[in-house]
Amino acid sequence: MSDPEGMRKAEQAAIIVELAFGFAPNLVKLKRQNPEARVIGIERPEMAPFQADTSYQEAVAEGAEIMFLDYRKDLPKDLFGSVDEVIVIAPQPWGNEWYASSSETAEAMADLVRPGGHIYVAAAEATTAERMAKVFEKRFGMTVEPKEVSRFEVPFQSDYLLDRVWVIDFFTPR
């Protein structure tokens, strides 16, 4: 029996992942804008104790799922290739002993995204965006060019973004 309403709902079901959500400035908004979706925030386990006074609490109350894990090695394999939208707000140069490098972060994003899915990166540094773009080009066999924009054109918040931001925003091949 045809069930257009049910089909529409199934199509709307989506998984959105924000890697490295920090103090969660964006998770509440993501969940409110996409109430039907699984919105998953991923951060390092070491950041868990510092979430008390952040919007993290509100995001959890709204129904966002939180995973405290190191995305270089502990991403759940069942999410691989199944995420509709993967977001990273990368306001600082990454790559000290605790942090994933920008290349590793791009690899994790590429592992998660589904064919035809959406990748969005806002980076404060051109070098970060260029390194990530190289990973995406290799993984998806397509040209990926970061675009320089004003921070007001970035639909996500971060206390750390400077005035100019390098954005990577594309859909992966189907």
Ligand X SMILES: C[S@@+](CC[C@H](N)C(=O)[O-])C[C@H]1O[C@@H](n2cnc3c(N)ncnc32)[C@H](O)[C@@H]1O
| Binding residues vs ligand X (CB under 6 A) | 20-22, 25, 42-44, 47, 70-72, 89, 91-92, 99-100, 158, 160
Q: Which residue is nearest to ligand X (CB)?
A: 22
Secondary structure of residue 136 in the 3-state scheme: helix
In the complex with ligand X, the residue whose CB is nearer, 2 or 150, is 150
Quote the CA–CA distance of 82 and 67 in Å, as a whole number. 16
**Rounded to the nearest whole angstrom, what is the least distance from the CB of residue 64 to ligand X in the complex?**
14
**Rounded to the nearest whole angstrom, what is the least distance from the CB of residue 142 to ligand X in the complex?**
25
In the complex with ligand X, the residue whose CB is nearer, 42 or 119, is 42
In the complex with ligand X, the residue whose CB is nearer, 13 or 153, is 153
CB-based burial of residue 93 (10 Å sphere; 0-12 exposed, 13-18 middle, 19+ buried)? middle
Vertex 117 angle, CA 111 and 118, to 5°: 95
**Rounded to the nearest whole angstrom, what is the least distance from the CB of residue 81 to ligand X in the complex?**
19
**Rounded to the nearest whole angstrom, what is the least distance from the CB of residue 36 to ligand X in the complex?**
24
DSSP calls for 48-101 = GGG-TTSTHHHHHHHT-EEEES-TTT---GGGTT-EEEEEEEE-S---SSSSPP
In the complex with ligand X, the residue whose CB is nearer, 94 or 143, is 94
